[in-house]
């Protein structure tokens, strides 16, 4: 088995007195598409900047393809293609000029640079705008140019910071197709605060909150829990007491129904067979009749909320 | 070296893609042309000493405009992230920006070579002060560009970068006036920081190694500090 492409160990980053990243460790295997999920200001961009050699960590180590981010930064940067948030580009250049400049600065020369520019322009469908000044590009095209420059040298690791922000749905779809094309051939790390987007693209999702990595595999957590949605007429305290007796039930939230409608309960339970049947049996035993009982497939949002709730509980 | 050349080319393109370079060169040549003609008609002597002092002042005023955007703009637009995540060093970036900006000053001086050529054709000038004057202006330009670059590295606002470097230049221009008021040995130290004090010998044809060393040291120091400031992230 080949060694991981990215290894981060006990990463810590201070900005003056503010701790932006606290003791973050993870690894990413070659060919994986990994999402880094977290709200704005959670430390995603800081981790990306450390991974790309732009920032140095206050402590801890990062290596990409075996090259350390601090001691072997230039070699590391040759292995990484980076698309920063909001696609900062040189507005005074034309697209072809910009891509050629980036190709040359990344070490490609002469014909190799020309071929590489033509390849990424075709792949990102930029042929029609190659002579357009970057300043006149639409948001979508800017983002595509930024992704194109990151792919110029076919890097081992592609780091994309909020790559779909500002794109229209068609462009987002095209972007997803591109990432699916790259999966397997290249290691991709994508940051986003949009949960459904990450869920569709990434094979593994890490969740970051306030600089702390809550999980390195949220999708596995998703497989570990299930949610039941039920509506029951009766005193809430009785229903809660009844549900709490069922094995595997972890948390219960209640929402009063409008008008005469019964209260709606969302029950979080461990992923084991027949929980729904046990819930129904427990309710029947106490003569509580549910008007609705359904298993809801959990999404990343629920995993995110669950993990943050657990963290807050631990902190409290 | 290759990275430096590519970055240098990019910086030259950036300089000439904005109107700043054209405006600075045009204003410089207009003022110098007017001044040269006026001086020649009044004094009837084939000398460029007065012109060199005027170029000195114009350099103090125009270099902040040339250098203000160098790093501050890259930081503000965050294109510096693109550069510093590519396999190039901070030293290559700083030196490329320095070389391109100094290149613009050299171009301005090269265009002003029309004046000594006119003197050579129609008179018999003393070429020594002319050569040393131009050498002094190039060395002064290096120190000014280095200082302007450092100011641009320290702040993200271009206007503040320009004002910061202009303030330093003006202070170092008139610092010898304050220096004479200070007790020994502070007076010697302060007077030796004077930009104009080290330029006068060049303009009048007296070459001293100490004057050249002052400008070269200032250039190297500001470049070193710029590299360190850029590396501090």
pLDDT at A185: 81
C-alpha torsion sign, points A295, A298, A302, A307: positive
For A254-304, the pLDDT digits (tens) are 887 777 778 888 888 877 777 888 888 888 888 888 888 888 765 666 677
- The H or E element spanning position A59 is strand A59-64
B81/A84 CB distance under 8 A: yes
B233/A88 CB distance under 8 A: no
Half-sphere exposure of A281 (CA within 13 A, CB side): 8
Half-sphere exposure of A223 (CA within 13 A, CB side): 5
pLDDT at B110: 96
A90/B14 CB distance under 8 A: yes
Please state whether beta strands A157-161 and A187-192 pair in parallel, antiparallel, or not at all (unpaired): parallel
- The H or E element spanning position B232 is none
B84/A54 CB distance under 8 A: yes
* Chain A CB contacts of B88 below 8 Å: 105
pTM of the model: 0.83
Residue ranges of chain A with pLDDT lower than 70?
Answer: 1, 221-223, 297-302
B183 vs A114, more confident: A114
Domains of chain A, start order: 6-217 (3.40.50.300), 222-315 (3.30.70.100)
Nearest CA-CA partner of B139 in B109, B97, B183: B109
Contact B106/A at CB under 8 A:
no
Closest partner residue to B6 (CB to CB) among A82, A92, A105 is: A105
pLDDT at A125: 87
pLDDT (mean) for B109-116: 94
What is the Cα gyration radius of chain A?
A: 24
Cβ(A204)–Cβ(A32) under 8 Å? yes
pLDDT at A289: 84
pLDDT (mean) for B41-51: 85
For B77-101, the pLDDT digits (tens) are 999 999 999 999 999 999 999 999 9
Give chain B's domain count: 1
* Chain B CB contacts of A89 below 8 Å: 79, 82
pLDDT (mean) for B225-230: 96
For A93-118, the pLDDT digits (tens) are 999 999 999 999 999 988 999 999 99
What are the angstrom distances between the C-alpha of B118 and each of B87, B107, B112, B123, B125?
A: 48, 18, 11, 8, 10
Provide the percentage of residues in chain B whose pLDDT is more than 70.
100
d(CA B93, CA B76) in angstroms, rounded, equals 16
pLDDT at A298: 59
A104/B6 CB distance under 8 A: yes
pLDDT at A189: 95
pLDDT at A1: 63
Structural domain boundaries, residue B99: 2-231
Q: Is the peptide bond before B185 cis (omega within 30 degrees of 0)?
A: yes
* Chain A CB contacts of B86 below 8 Å: 77, 102, 105-106
pLDDT at A299: 67
A292 forms bridges with which residues in the sheet?
Answer: A231
* Chain A CB contacts of B84 below 8 Å: 53-54
∠ CA(A278), CA(A280), CA(A282), 5° rounding?
65
Nearest CA-CA partner of A45 in A86, A84, A88, A89: A84
Judged against a pLDDT cut of 80, whether residue B169 lies above it is answered with yes
d(CA A44, CA A49) in angstroms, rounded, equals 9
Cβ(B64)–Cβ(B166) under 8 Å? yes
pLDDT at B151: 97
pLDDT (mean) for B171-184: 84
Q: Which of residues 32-91 of B touch A (CB under 8 A)?
A: 77-79, 81-89
Mutate to test the interface with B, among A72, A79, A83, A90 (most CBs of B within 10 A): A90
Q: Which of residues 73-92 of A touch B (CB under 8 A)?
A: 74-75, 77-78, 80, 82, 84, 86, 88-92
* Chain A CB contacts of B12 below 8 Å: none
pLDDT at A251: 82
């Amino acid at each position: 088995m080949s060694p991981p492409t990215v290894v981060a160990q006990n990463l810590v980053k201070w900005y003056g007195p503010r701790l932006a990243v606290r003791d973050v460790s993870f690894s990413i295997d070659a060919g994986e598409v990994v999402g880094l999920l977290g709200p704005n200001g959670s430390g995603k961009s800081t981790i990306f900047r450390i991974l790309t050699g732009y920032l140095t960590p206050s402590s801890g180590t990062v290596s990409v393809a075996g090259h350390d981010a601090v001691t072997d930064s230039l070699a590391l940067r040759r292995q990484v293609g980076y698309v920063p948030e909001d696609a900062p580009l040189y507005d005074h250049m034309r697209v072809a000029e910009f891509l050629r400049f980036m190709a040359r600065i990344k070490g490609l020369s002469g014909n190799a640079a020309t071929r590489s520019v033509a390849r990424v322009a075709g792949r990102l469908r930029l042929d029609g705008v190659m002579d357009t000044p970057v300043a006149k590009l639409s948001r979508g095209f800017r983002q595509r140019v930024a992704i194109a420059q990151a792919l110029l040298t076919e890097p081992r690791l592609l780091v994309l910071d909020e790559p779909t922000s500002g794109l229209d749905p068609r462009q987002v779809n095209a972007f997803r197709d591109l990432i699916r094309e790259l999966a397997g051939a290249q290691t991709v790390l994508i940051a986003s605060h949009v949960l459904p987007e990450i869920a569709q693209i990434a094979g593994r999702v890490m969740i970051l909150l306030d600089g702390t990595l809550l999980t390195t595999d949220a999708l596995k957590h998703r497989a570990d829990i299930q949610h039941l949605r039920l509506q029951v007429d009766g005193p809430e305290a009785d229903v809660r007491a009844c549900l709490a007796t069922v094995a595997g039930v972890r948390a219960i939230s209640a929402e009063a129904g409008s008008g005469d409608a019964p209260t709606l309960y969302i029950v979080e339970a461990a992923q084991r067979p027949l929980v729904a049947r046990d819930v129904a049996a427990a309710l029947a035993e106490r003569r509580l009749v549910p008007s609705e009982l359904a298993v809801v497939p959990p999404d990343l949002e629920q995993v995110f909320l669950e993990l943050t709730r657990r963290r807050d509980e631990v902190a409290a | 070296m290759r990275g430096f050349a590519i970055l240098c080319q990019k910086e030259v393109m950036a300089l000439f893609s904005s109107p700043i370079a054209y405006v600075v060169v045009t204003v410089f040549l207009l003022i110098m042309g007017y001044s040269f003609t006026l001086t020649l008609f009044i004094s009837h002597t084939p000398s460029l000493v007065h012109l060199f002092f005027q170029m000195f002042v114009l350099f103090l005023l125009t270099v902040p405009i040339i250098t203000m955007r160098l790093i501050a703009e890259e930081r503000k637009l965050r294109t510096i992230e693109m550069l510093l995540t590519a396999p190039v060093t901070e030293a290559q970036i700083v030196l490329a920006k320095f070389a391109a900006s100094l290149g613009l000053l050299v171009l301005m001086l090269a265009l002003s070579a029309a004046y000594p050529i006119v003197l050579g054709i129609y008179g018999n000038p003393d070429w020594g002060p002319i050569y040393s004057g131009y050498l002094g202006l190039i060395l002064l330009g290096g120190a000014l560009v280095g200082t302007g670059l450092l100011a641009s590295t320290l702040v993200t606002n271009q206007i503040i970068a320009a004002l910061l470097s202009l303030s330093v230049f003006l202070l170092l221009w008139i610092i010898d006036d304050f220096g004479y008021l200070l007790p020994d040995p502070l007076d010697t130290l302060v007077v030796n920081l004077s930009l104009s004090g080290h330029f006068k010998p060049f303009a009048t044809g007296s070459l001293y190694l100490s004057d050249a060393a002052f400008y070269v040291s200032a250039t190297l120091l500001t470049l070193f500090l710029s590299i360190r400031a850029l590396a501090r992230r």
